[in-house]
Chain A
C-alpha cells in the first residue's frame, strides 16, 4: 500500500519532469517556426517532416562541439553555472497543479509533483535562486564583458522580482492560501483572477518576461548592441544548457500565469455537465495545457514584435512604474476585500 502510493507518486513526478523537458525541447522549434511565420518565411523544415527532428539535430550539434573551457576561467564554477541555471529552471514545475485528482480504486491521485501548502512561496524562492546560474557563470568566465553581462542580468532579475512578489501577494490575499491548488479552487468558486486582478495580471506577466530574459527584456543577451552577456565565453552544450533553461523557464512561467490568473485546470461550467470525475480531470489537464501553449505562443509573439528596451528604460520601468503600481494594486485589493466583506455580510 505504502509502496504502491510511492510508485504512483514517483510516476507523477517523472511525468511532470518529462513533459516539462519535452515541451521545452519543442518550444525551440516552435520559436523558429513562429519567427518564420511572423516574418513571412518557412522556418526550419529540413530535418524530418516539417522540421520535426530539428531540436534533436540541434542537440547533436551542440554535444559534438568542442568542450572548451578558457584557461583563465575558474574551472569548477564555469561548469557549475549552466548546471545551476538548468537545476533552478527544472525545480519550479514540481508544485504546479497540472490537473485535478484522478480517483483510481477509491484512491485520489493529484496531478501535481509535490503537494505543499506553500507552493506559491516555493516558486518565488526558486525564481529568486535563478540568478545564481547567470552570476556564477559570468564571474567564472574571468572576462570583464562576461562579468558586466552577469551584473546586468542579475540587476534586472532582482529588480523585477520585487514587483512580481508584490503582484503575487494580491492573489494570495484573494485566495487566502499559499497553496496553488487552493488558488485554483478559489478561482473555480468565484471568477478567474484575471477579472479580479487585471492590473496585477499585467504586472505579473511583464515581470515574468523580465525574469525569463525574453524580449523586450533580453538585455542579458543583447548580442547586437552589447557584447553577448554572461555567456560570452560559453560554447557547446554548456551554452546549450543556458539557452535551454530559458525555454524551460518560459514553460514554467506560462504554467504559473495560467494557474494564478487564468483558472489553472478550471474549465467554466464543466462541473454542471455531470461528467465522470476522471474525464473531468482529463479535460482540465487538456485545458491547462491549452492555456500554457497560448502563453508560450504569446511569449514568442512578443519577442518577434517588440524591440528591446534600453537599459535605463528597463530600470525606470521596473522601479518607477511597476513597483508603485504593484503597491497600488495591493492597497486596492485590500480595500476591495474589506468593502466586499462589509457589504455582503
Chain B
C-alpha cells in the first residue's frame, strides 16, 4: 500500500516539478510548484513525519508561495514574455553555467553516498521519530547550535527586510 502510494506521489512530484519549468505562464508555474510541495508533504506523511509534512505546507505552500504569486500577479506578463525573447545571450550563458555547477555538486555529493550503509538501518527505523515531541527533543539537544544559528539568520533577514521596506525621511508617504 505504502509502496504504491510512494510511486504515485513520486510520479506527481516529478511531473508537477517538470511542469513548473515547462509551462509558459508564470502563474501556472507557481501553481504547479504548490502541487509539488503538496506531493512532497504526502511523502513526509508516508515516512510518518506528520509534523514536517504540515510545517512544509504552512511555510512553503501557505506563506512563501503566496508571496511568489503576489509578485508574479503584479507584473505584466505579456511584456515580461517579450523581454525574455530579447534577453541577452550572456545572461542565458550565466544561467547555464550556474545551474551546471549546481548539478555537478549534487551529482558529486550523490556519488559519494554509500547507499548500502543507509538502507540497512532503515529496517530498525523508529516510527515515532517524526512526532513533534521527538523532533523537539532532537532539535534542542543534539542540534541546538545549528537551530539557534538558523534563528539568528532569520532575525538578520527580518531586520534586512524591514530596513529595505522602510521609507527614509523625505520620501513620499503612501498614506
| Chain A interfacial positions (CB closer than 8 Å to B) | 77, 116-118, 121-122, 124-125, 128-129, 131-132, 135-136, 139, 147, 150-151, 154-155, 158, 161, 178, 312
With A125-B57, A158-B63 given, is the CB distance from A117 to B27 under 8 Å? no
Chain B hits for A178, CB < 8 A: 132
The reply to whether A128 and B62 contact each other, CB–CB distance below 8 Å, is yes
- Taken together as a complex, chains A and B put the C-alpha atoms of A131 and B69 apart, in Å, by 11
B106-145 vs A, Cβ < 8 Å mask (1 yes, 0 no): 0000000000000000000000000110000000000000
Q: A-side binding surface: helix, strand, loop or mixed?
A: helix
User: For residues 1 through 55 of chain B, which have their beta carbon under 8 Å from a beta carbon of chain A?
Assistant: 27, 31, 34, 50-51, 54-55
The chain A residue with its CB closest to the CB of B61 is A129
Q: Which residues of A contact B31 (CB under 8 A)?
A: 77, 136
Chain A residues with Cβ below 8 Å from B61 are 125, 128-129
With A131-B66, A135-B66: A121-B131 Cβ-Cβ less than 8 Å: no
CA distance A124 to B175 in the complex (A): 32
> Contacts of B57 on A, CB cut-off 8 Å?
125, 128-129
Closest residue of chain B to A158 (Cβ to Cβ) is: B66
Bound Cα distance from A178 to B132, whole angstroms: 8
Decide if B54 touches A151 in the complex (CB within 8 Å): no
12 residue pairs A–B, Cβ–Cβ below 8 Å: A77-B31, A124-B58, A125-B57, A128-B57, A128-B63, A132-B34, A132-B69, A139-B73, A150-B73, A151-B74, A155-B70, A161-B62
- The residue of chain B having its C-beta at the shortest distance from the C-beta of A76 within the complex is B28
B58 touches A135 (CB 8 A): no
Asked if residues A147 and B73 are in contact (CB atoms below 8 Å), the reply is: yes
Q: How large is the interface on B (under 10, 10 to 19, 20 to 34, 35 or more residues)?
A: 20 to 34
Bound-state Cα–Cα, A243 to B31, Å: 23
Nearest B residue to A131, CB-CB: B66
Alpha-carbon distance A16/B61, docked complex (angstroms): 26
Contact A154 B70 (CB under 8 A): yes
- List which B45-100 residues lie within 8 A (CB) of chain A: 50-51, 54-55, 57-58, 61-63, 66, 69-70, 73-74
Check A117/B132 contact, CB under 8 A, given A139-B27, A312-B175.
yes
Cα A158 to Cα B145 in complex, Å, equals 31
Residues in A whose Cβ lies below 8 Å from that of B34: 132
Among B31, B55, B62, find the residue whose CB has the most chain A CB atoms closer than 10 A.
B62
Contact B54 A118 (CB under 8 A): yes
Chain B residues at the A interface, C-beta cutoff of 8 Å: 27, 31, 34, 50-51, 54-55, 57-58, 61-63, 66, 69-70, 73-74, 131-132, 175
Instruction: Establish whether residues B54 and A129, one from each chain, have CB atoms under 8 Å apart when the complex forms.
Output: no
Q: In whole angstroms, what is the CA distance A182 to B169 when docked?
A: 51
A150 vs B69: C-alpha distance when bound (angstroms):
11
Given contacts A135-B66, A150-B73, 16 further A-B contacts (CB under 8 A): A116-B50, A118-B54, A121-B51, A121-B55, A125-B58, A125-B61, A128-B62, A128-B66, A131-B62, A135-B69, A136-B31, A151-B70, A151-B73, A154-B70, A178-B132, A312-B175
B residues in contact with A312, CB < 8 Å: 175
A124 neighbours in B (Cβ, 8 Å):
54, 58
A131 to B73, CA, bound (A): 14
Which residues of A are found within 8 Å of B63, using beta-carbon distances? 128, 158
Complex contacts, B175 vs chain A, CB 8 Å: 312
Contacts of B70 in A (CB 8 A): 135, 151, 154-155
Chain A minimum-CB-distance residue to B62:
A128
> Distance (Å) between the CB of B103 and the closest chain A CB?
32
Chain B residues whose CB sits within 8 angstroms of the CB of A150 once the complex forms: 73
Question: Which of A118, A129, A136 is B50 in contact with, Cβ under 8 Å?
Answer: A118
Q: Do residues B131 and A117 form an inter-chain contact, with CB atoms below 8 A? A: yes
- What is the distance, in angstroms, from A117's C-beta to the closest C-beta of chain B? 7
Beta-carbon contact of A125 and B132 below 8 Å: no
Task: Give B54's nearest chain A residue, CB to CB.
Answer: A121
Chain B contacts of A117 at CB under 8 A? 50, 131-132
A154, B66: Cβ atoms under 8 Å? Answer: yes
B-chain residues with CB within 8 Å of residue A118 when the two chains form the complex: 50-51, 54, 132
Q: Is the CB of A125 within 8 A of B62?
A: yes
Smallest CB separation, B168 vs chain A (Å) = 20
Instruction: Select from chain B the residue with minimum beta-carbon distance to A130.
Output: B62
